[in-house]
Amino acid sequence: MIVRPGDARYAELAERGYNNRFVATPDEIWLVHCASQVEKAVNQAVAKNQRITVRSGGHCFEGLVDDPQFRLLVDLSEMKNVTFDRTMNAFAVEAGARLGEVYKALYEGWGVTVPGGVCPEVGVGGHVSGGGYGPLSRRHGLVVDHLYAVEVVVADRGGKARTVIATRNAGDPNRDLWWAHTGGGGGGFGIVTRFWFRTPGASGGASALLPQPPARMRKTIVTWPWAQLTEAGFTRMVLNHGAWHAANSAPGSVYSAMHSSLQLHSSLAGTVQLEIRMDATLKDTAKLHDDYIRAVNAGVGLEPTVDVTEGTWLEIALEPTPSYGEYARQKSMGGHLRKPLTEAQVGAIYRSLNDPNHFGAGLVYLAAYGCKINTVESSATAIPQRDSVLKLWYSNNWADPAQDETEVGWLRTLRKNVHGATGGFPVPNGRQDGGYINYPDVDMRDPVQNTSGVPWYSIIWKDNYPRLQRVKNTYDPKNVFRHALSLDPA
């Protein structure tokens, strides 16, 4: 079905993107149901010289889809089947499915899951292609560590569309196309219509081919009120948290059963929070949980409130992410930390969160990483970060378009002050390990913003970039699939 401006359904489909700063204005929105319809869309776009883009879950933080240059938008939201494919001996997931739909179908059908992101509304199309991580990643690795194959519609040198199935099998001539979808990012190689998942080395019935999540999960919110938090207490907490992750993120750690995110909100929001999600069925769950909170809070100077809930794994996994409501304009940037933030960096964060000229919902988010994630070689997947202990995300949300410059500026100042020694970004070195394409920031491509001397693509993909570029040359030689942060053909 093709929806055009003037159609009652147009606005809802065009405005499906997460960030209200960016608006899509395509001439045509193709709501597709199979790869052959996607091929038609690609053939038309090439023939008519229309810029083409693709949306799955619509949770992109940047304007990589919502950009007026795109005249044909392929919308995969109706392609969300999750089945067990006997021929491939793997779970087939259509690329328009949302994580929550995938978790539900895999768990209710077979008792298994993939270690994807925390937000059930995120779509697999972008999330998997970018190398997604989530609450089970310290135990089971990244979602792409379980990716067996992809079905991708690509355009050849003559611009003709074709559908390629690329697997991780050693003898597969299209193996590099599979590899590019283990973190190379969405929208830069073709349009993925289907993913297949099976854990490497797994055998037996379907229920043995992917990880089984814990039967029950504990979810805890630890809250410190800003009103009682001194700068010394704040600094202590963030340093404690970093030191704890440096000490407890080795493969095989008992704490691989626990995920957490330290959420440092702007002081206007009133609180700083630590969200913990952990396997509730361990003999030592309560002790491990309490020890962790005690370690983070040591010397902070106040007792936080600790709100513990428990539920089945699925109940917790399907809890919606709290909405920012009208605060739907956004700017963010993400990265990886090999070592904890330094005291000077924590000081820069403290000053930004208490900036009296900032009225947005600012956030510095430090998510647990490491353990199983770090058992994989850096070149085995396109996402190269395999020895970090924390994922980092700077974010800001606000409502009023008139505040765009101020609030984007707030995030830039925060980022520059924390990473001033490395040109304003967490460029790879001994302490930090570059960016993350699923937390995109086009500033990386701007030499005024990125003064590190390290190109944006090396910040994200490090030494994997040349191979990704070869995949681009082979499968998208005409650069049909491109956006503000896709890689260029050589």
Ligand X SMILES: Cc1cc2nc3c(=O)[nH]c(=O)nc-3n(C[C@H](O)[C@H](O)[C@H](O)COP(=O)(O)OP(=O)(O)OC[C@H]3O[C@@H](n4cnc5c(N)ncnc54)[C@H](O)[C@@H]3O)c2cc1C
217 vs 348 by CB, closer to ligand X: 217
DSSP symbol at 398: E
CB of 255 to ligand X, least distance (A): 18
Site size for ligand X (CB under 6 A): 34
Q: How far apart are CA 46 and CA 488, in angstroms?
A: 18
Site for ligand X in 291-330 (CB under 6 A): 321
Residue 331 interacting with ligand X (CB under 6 A): no
185 vs 304 by CB, closer to ligand X: 185
Amino acid symbol at 428 = P
64 vs 414 by CB, closer to ligand X: 64
Q: Are 131 and 142 in contact (CB under 8 A)?
A: yes
Residue 65 interacting with ligand X (CB under 6 A): yes
CB of 331 to ligand X, least distance (A): 13
Q: Are 66 and 46 in contact (CB under 8 A)?
A: no
Determine which residue in the list 26, 63, 115, 117 makes contact with ligand X, applying CB under 6 A: 117
Residue 219 interacting with ligand X (CB under 6 A): no
Residue 118 interacting with ligand X (CB under 6 A): yes
Q: How far apart are CA 257 and CA 139, in angstroms?
A: 6
Residue 146 interacting with ligand X (CB under 6 A): no
Residue 55 interacting with ligand X (CB under 6 A): yes
Site string for ligand X, 469-488 (x = CB under 6 A): --------------x-----
Q: How far apart are CA 44 and CA 182, in angstroms?
A: 28
DSSP symbol at 467: H
Determine which residue in the list 21, 80, 127, 259 makes contact with ligand X, applying CB under 6 A: 127
Site for ligand X in 3-32 (CB under 6 A): 18
391 phi/psi in degrees, rounded to 5: -100, 140
Determine which residue in the list 192, 237, 262, 280 makes contact with ligand X, applying CB under 6 A: 192
Residue 438 interacting with ligand X (CB under 6 A): yes
190 vs 304 by CB, closer to ligand X: 190
Nearest in space to 26 (alpha carbons), one of 54, 1, 57, 56: 54
Q: At what angle do helices 343-353 and 231-247 cross, to 10 degrees?
A: 130
Q: How far apart are CA 174 and CA 239, in angstroms?
A: 45
* Token reading at 294: 């005690």
152 vs 341 by CB, closer to ligand X: 152
Q: How far apart are CA 162 and CA 35, in angstroms?
A: 9
Determine which residue in the list 20, 24, 39, 58 makes contact with ligand X, applying CB under 6 A: 58
154 vs 346 by CB, closer to ligand X: 154
CB of 178 to ligand X, least distance (A): 14
Nearest in space to 52 (alpha carbons), one of 35, 34, 40, 60: 40
Q: What is the Cα gyration radius of the chain?
A: 22
Q: How far apart are CA 369 and CA 139, in angstroms?
A: 10
Q: Which stretch binds ligand X (CB under 6 A): 4-12, 55-63, 100-108, 298-306?
A: 55-63
Q: Which residues contact 347 (CB under 8 A, 6 or more apart)?
A: 231, 235
CB of 177 to ligand X, least distance (A): 12
Determine which residue in the list 13, 105, 122, 136 makes contact with ligand X, applying CB under 6 A: 122
CB of 235 to ligand X, least distance (A): 26
Q: How far apart are CA 126 and CA 187, in angstroms?
A: 8
Which residue reads 């029950």 in tokens? 216
112 vs 154 by CB, closer to ligand X: 154
DSSP symbol at 51: -
Q: What are the residues binding ligand X (CB under 6 A)?
A: 18, 53-61, 64-65, 76, 95, 117-119, 122-123, 125-127, 129-130, 132-134, 186-187, 191-192, 321, 438, 483
